[in-house]
Amino acid sequence: MTTSKQIQRIVVVGGGYTGLLAAIRTAGRLRRHGGHVTLVNPASRFTERLRMHQVASGQRLADHRIPDVLKGTGVTFVQGWATGIDPDAREVTVTTSDGVRVLPYDRLVYAVGGTADVALVPGAGEHAHTLDDPAAGARLAGRLADIARTGGTVTVCGGGLTGVEAVTEIAESFPSVRTVLLSRDVPGSMMGAKARAHLDRALARLNVEVRTGAEITKVLPDAVELEGGELVHSDATLWTAGTRARPLAAQSGIDTDEHGRIVVDATLRSVSHPSIYAVGDAAAIRQPYGVLHGTCQSGIPSAAHAADAIGREARGRKARPFRFGYIHQPVSLGRHDAVIQFTRPDDSPRRWHLAGRPAMVYKELVSGSPIHTFRLSRSFPVPLQLSRGGRRASASR
């Protein structure tokens, strides 16, 4: 039986939505058991990944600092890159501005978010922009400002929800720029017909040129090559067609899937190294209807579950299985429009949707900054999941 004496040192790698919540909630769960939580992240500023399309269009976001959010929680913040994990010795190597540190752990929460999968086609890594972090978004914003002054074309590759949010934000913020959306399928293909119709009207209103059935074979400095050799001129290309987990786990000898995500059991523990919990985009979390795709809607509940599981272990109890069901697909269409598709737990569309101003209000409510949730978690465990249909569903995207 696991005892509190065996779970004293918890290291959380990654300070995004999932990592920050996991660190704060774990510290609260272990407050009476003497455990200590350390959070590792390269930057001291909290990155709102859900709003990177706003950064790319030149908008400024609130400046939330991780040390400020952690005040009063008992969590120690280490700013640096986790460059290695020794899962057998239970140690994390961190490179900081002051040198290399080795952090021992009894339990590790792996919350290292994913990145755009620019390895899918040649040239994407060299010539395409991404929305991986604020610096990447700022670089694209600067390029868009240049194009807007001289006239030109921006191409967004990928018609999923990230691509739709990005292309509508860009088109609204830079109306003089020609915007092209390249997608294999129709944009928002996972939505129901009525929600998709509203999305299509928004794209048309913003003069976005949509090319469906587009099989991208190469990204060039000034064009995107399609199957058959057609070149689509592009003064700036944004890649949103697929994501991949960062390579740290695979390089450390932890079992991962084909996308680099840690393979976990029903409780979110690594199948190869049970002292490691993986959450959010970093974990291949299987439910009866399939493997979860990475969104905050599933990521934040997985982080809360990992924290609660560690708390249960510290009290000598078994961790419970993680259950999750989707409830919605919220999509912003610029700053003045949105569409919400409500879903079944397996993420298939229900009949109901919201559009226009009601959808904007809803989107801001459920996808707003999670800082308030983090701060509430300092004092007591915030319920992050709503019971629905016998499964658990997140209340935020």
What is the pLDDT at residue 385?
45
Q: Which of 72, 106, 89, 94 is nearest to 14 (CA)?
A: 94
Q: What does residue 308 show for φ and ψ, rounded to 5 degrees?
A: -65, -35
Give CA–CA dist 139/208, Å, rounded.
Answer: 22
Domain 118-239 superfamily per CATH:
FAD/NAD(P)-binding domain (3.50.50.60)
* Domain residue extents for the chain: 4-115+243-324+370-394, 118-239
Give CA–CA dist 23/70, Å, rounded.
Answer: 9
User: Confidence band (pLDDT; 50, 70, 90) for 367?
Assistant: confident
**Stronger pLDDT, 3 or 227, i.e. the higher one:** 227
Q: Residue 199 — left, alpha, or beta (φ > 0 → left; ψ -120 to 50 → alpha)?
A: alpha
- Give pLDDT tens digits for 295-339: 788 999 999 999 999 999 999 999 999 999 999 999 999 999 999
- Give pLDDT tens digits for 383-396: 454 333 333 333 33
How many alpha carbons fall within 13 Å on the CB side of residue 98? 4
Give CA–CA dist 148/216, Å, rounded.
Answer: 25
- Give pLDDT tens digits for 176-222: 999 999 999 999 999 999 999 999 999 999 999 999 998 999 999 99
Give CA–CA dist 313/107, Å, rounded.
Answer: 10
According to DSSP H, which parts of the chain are helical?
Answer: 17-29, 52-56, 66-70, 124-127, 134-150, 161-173, 193-205, 248-251, 296-314, 357-367, 371-376
Q: Which helix (H) or strand (E) holds 350?
A: strand 349-355
User: Confidence band (pLDDT; 50, 70, 90) for 49?
Assistant: confident
What is the pLDDT at residue 389?
31
Neighbours of 192 (CB within 10 A): 18
Token look-up 């500023």 returns 45
CATH code of the domain made up of 4-115+243-324+370-394: 3.50.50.60
Burial classification of residue 294, based on how many CB atoms lie within 10 Å of its CB (0-12 exposed, 13-18 middle, 19 or more buried): buried
Q: Could you tell me the pTM of the whole model? A: 0.91
Token look-up 């999941």 returns 385
CATH topology agreement for domains 4-115+243-324+370-394 and 118-239:
yes
Q: What does residue 344 show for φ and ψ, rounded to 5 degrees?
A: -80, 170
- Give pLDDT tens digits for 9-21: 999 999 999 999 9
Q: Which residues are bridge partners to 155 per DSSP?
A: 180, 237
Give the gyration radius of the chain's Cα atoms.
Answer: 21
Instruction: Report residue 18 as tokens.
Output: 């999932």
Q: Which of 58, 49, 10 is nearest to 280 (CA)?
A: 49
- Tell me the longest C-alpha to C-alpha distance in the chain: 68
- CB-based contact 394:302 (threshold 8 Å): no
- Give pLDDT tens digits for 243-281: 899 999 999 999 999 999 999 999 999 999 999 999 999
